[in-house]
Amino acid sequence: MQTDLRGRDLIGDLDFSKEEVESVLEVAFDLKRKRALGEPHALLRDRVLAMLFFFSSTRTRGSFEAGMAQLGGHAAFIESKTTQIAHGDTPKEIGEIFGRYFDGIAIRHVDWGVGNGYLNAVARASRVPVLNMQCEVYHPFQILADLMTIIEKKGRDLRRKKMVVSWAYAASYQKPMSVPQSLVLQMPRFGMDVVLAHPPEFRLMPDVMEQAREQARRFGTGFEVADDMSAAFKGADIVYAKSWGAMVHTPDAEEGARIIKKYSSWITDEKKMALAKPDAIYMHPLPADRNIEVTDAVMDGPRSVVYDEAENRMHAQKAVMALTMR
């Protein structure tokens, strides 16, 4: 077990080694058990986390805030628009100043080409850990929660389990591609054979794809790219289907929105789920465009594990905070 994570940032999924992620998972399962039994676990008494949001959130805010309180500390909710960032506070100043007030700085900033650079700039200036609550490249805490959920449903030996990470149609807005990118980076390390399915215009970032292929080579797992949602679902153990934008294909948001409209058949419905294994699970990080991206029958059906994923956000985040912010 790798136990010395004190002071470490978690910005990209590969910032923690596989052994360090395994340690996080062990602590997360222990904290989940303690909460179920009502055992106090005030590991971060008197510690304070800054949660700086440049973008809206339901689960991330709620789970970090509840998690810090359960650990005996406090989480300060800070929206960028109510700060002086628009009037000149730089990421260096945020890192320097918040690093002196707080014991950790968590940030959500998903603006294309901006968010990840912002987090790294804050981290360079900060004396305390910087935690990525989602940028345009990575969503590492979502994927830790997903990994916990997969282990709970499929066991610890995940070798040769087929995981489909699929694009899905959604009309609401061009969603970040950080969830599929983090999935293809982290899941091969835990033995799953990943099939990434998307229409041609919804490619992921080339350097992330190269890193994902490298992880698959290193851990001896399969990694394929497909352009047919139904074909990809065949024989899957885990179906993870969500929408993301065409930002790699075009920086033009209007063109991206036009392209999305071509692929309304990429919905997760019972017919497609029937192509997966009978005991396949359906995953989604939420929020979803119901009956556009996924039908109610799948989302609310017996194979859906979306609420367990949402719950496990809190346990996984508590584990990382307890290990890095002590």
Q: Pick from 32, 47, 59, 303 the residue near ligand CP by CB under 6 A.
A: 59
Cβ-contact 292, 171 below 8 angstroms: yes
Q: Could you tell me the smallest distance in angstroms from the CB atom of residue 305 to ligand CP?
A: 14
Looking at residue 33, its amino acid is R
CA distance 197 to 203: 9
Does 80 engage in binding with ligand CP (CB under 6 A)? Answer: no
Position with the least CB separation from ligand CP: 60
**Number of residues counted as binding ligand CP (CB under 6 A):** 8
Q: Could you tell me the smallest distance in angstroms from the CB atom of residue 309 to ligand CP?
A: 8
| CA–CA distances in Å: residue 184 to residues 7, 55, 80, 193, 208 | 26, 24, 30, 10, 8
**E strand or H helix at 52, and its extent?**
strand 48-53
Q: Which residues contact 295 (CB under 8 A, 6 or more apart)?
A: 267, 268, 269, 270
Does 142 engage in binding with ligand CP (CB under 6 A)? Answer: yes
Does 256 engage in binding with ligand CP (CB under 6 A)? Answer: no
Does 205 engage in binding with ligand CP (CB under 6 A)? Answer: no
CA dihedral sign, ordered 88, 92, 96, 98: positive
Does 304 engage in binding with ligand CP (CB under 6 A)? Answer: no
Listed ranges 57-65, 149-157, 187-195, 219-227: which one lies at the site for ligand CP (CB under 6 A) = 57-65
Q: Pick from 3, 58, 83, 84 the residue near ligand CP by CB under 6 A.
A: 58
Q: Pick from 5, 24, 32, 60 the residue near ligand CP by CB under 6 A.
A: 60
Does 76 engage in binding with ligand CP (CB under 6 A)? Answer: no
Radius of gyration of the chain (CA): 19
Q: Could you tell me the smallest distance in angstroms from the CB atom of residue 134 to ligand CP?
A: 6
CA distance 287 to 297: 16
Does 285 engage in binding with ligand CP (CB under 6 A)? Answer: yes
Long-range contacts of 38-41 (CB under 8 A, 24+ apart): 41/70, 41/71
CA distance 134 to 288: 17
Q: Which is nearer to ligand CP, 58 or 291 (CB)?
A: 58
Structure tokens at 74: 């406090």
Q: Contact letters (x/-) for ligand CP, 1-40, by CB under 6 A? A: ----------------------------------------
Q: Which is nearer to ligand CP, 57 or 120 (CB)?
A: 57
Q: Could you tell me the smallest distance in angstroms from the CB atom of residue 88 to ligand CP?
A: 28
**E strand or H helix at 135, and its extent?**
strand 130-135
Does 57 engage in binding with ligand CP (CB under 6 A)? Answer: yes
**E strand or H helix at 197, and its extent?**
strand 193-197
Looking at residue 17, its amino acid is S
Q: Could you tell me the smallest distance in angstroms from the CB atom of residue 55 to ligand CP?
A: 8
Does 286 engage in binding with ligand CP (CB under 6 A)? Answer: yes
The site for ligand CP (CB under 6 A) is made up of 57-60, 134, 142, 285-286
